[in-house]
Amino acid sequence: MMSDIKEILISAEQIQAKVRELAERIGRDYRDKNPVLVGVLNGAFVFLADLMRHLDMPCKVDFVSWSSYGKDTSSSGVFRIMKDLESNVESKHVLIVEDIIDTGLTLHYLLDNIRARKPASVRVAALLDKPSRRRIEAEADYLGFQIADHFVVGYGLDFAQHYRNLPFIAILKSEIYAGRGTPPDELE
């Protein structure tokens, strides 16, 4: 796997330090609020698992999985709910946990969807943000790192379902993308 990597953008140590820092802020803001952390599958599961182990307070966890119609992963803005929340979040404090905000479409419509369930509050924690790719308003309240417009893998993020197990965030060599199809978000 290491031979497929062109560059490590964010090291495992940098990620771990940032996750601890975000957890401290979240811990202060949500003390006594018994929040529900809502992980967006599949990409957010690694970040969520690390983040919640640094939270020294009662909290619950739930997951959603949304898939967008169309040939690339996130450009159509029309979603199919593959898995919905199992819990009722009415009057609860919801913290959505995302791997990356790219066009913003997933998060924008997910926020609408969660708000319609009348939670006490809803905020967003995202590990990565690519602001230059934004097509609709979407923003994290707790953000790990802003990155430039690269297709990245690792720490939960995949290319063709692989590389999620890398402990860092990396860019793959161009021949890897070329050999297995262009990364969906770089087609445009």
Q: Work out whether 154 is an interface residue with Mg ion (CB under 5 A).
A: no
> Total binding residues for ligand IMP by CB under 6 A?
19
Q: Work out whether 103 is an interface residue with ligand IMP (CB under 6 A).
A: yes
Member of 63, 93, 95, 102 binding ligand IMP (CB under 6 A):
102
Characterise 122 by phi-psi region: left (phi > 0), alpha (psi -120 to 50), beta (else): beta
CA distance 23 to 33: 14
* Residue 1 Cα to chain centre, angstroms: 22
CB 99 within 8 A of CB 43: yes
CA distance 23 to 142: 9
**Which of 99, 102, 129, 185 is flagged as catalytic?**
102
Least separation in angstroms between residue 166's CB and ligand IMP is 12
Q: Give the contact letters, 114-153, x = binds to ligand IMP (CB under 6 A), - = no.
A: -------------------------------------xx-
Is 102 one of the catalytic residues?
yes
Closest CA to 101 of 49, 138, 47: 138
35 binds, among Mg ion, ligand IMP, none (CB under 5 to 8 A by kind): none
Residue 37 — φ and ψ, nearest 5°? -85, 125
Q: Work out whether 39 is an interface residue with ligand IMP (CB under 6 A).
A: no
Judged by beta carbon, residue 9 or residue 64, the one nearer Mg ion is 64
User: Which three-class secondary structure state does DSSP give residue 122?
Assistant: strand
Q: Give the contact letters, 93-132, x = binds to Mg ion (CB under 5 A), - = no.
A: ------x---------------------------------
97 binds, among Mg ion, ligand IMP, none (CB under 5 to 8 A by kind): none
- Name the strand (E) or helix (H) holding 60: strand 60-68
- CA torsion, ordered 133, 135, 138, 140, to nearest 10 deg: 0
- Contacting residues toward ligand IMP, per CB under 6 A: 40, 43, 73-74, 98-107, 151-152, 157-158, 185
Residues near Mg ion, by CB under 5 A: 43, 99
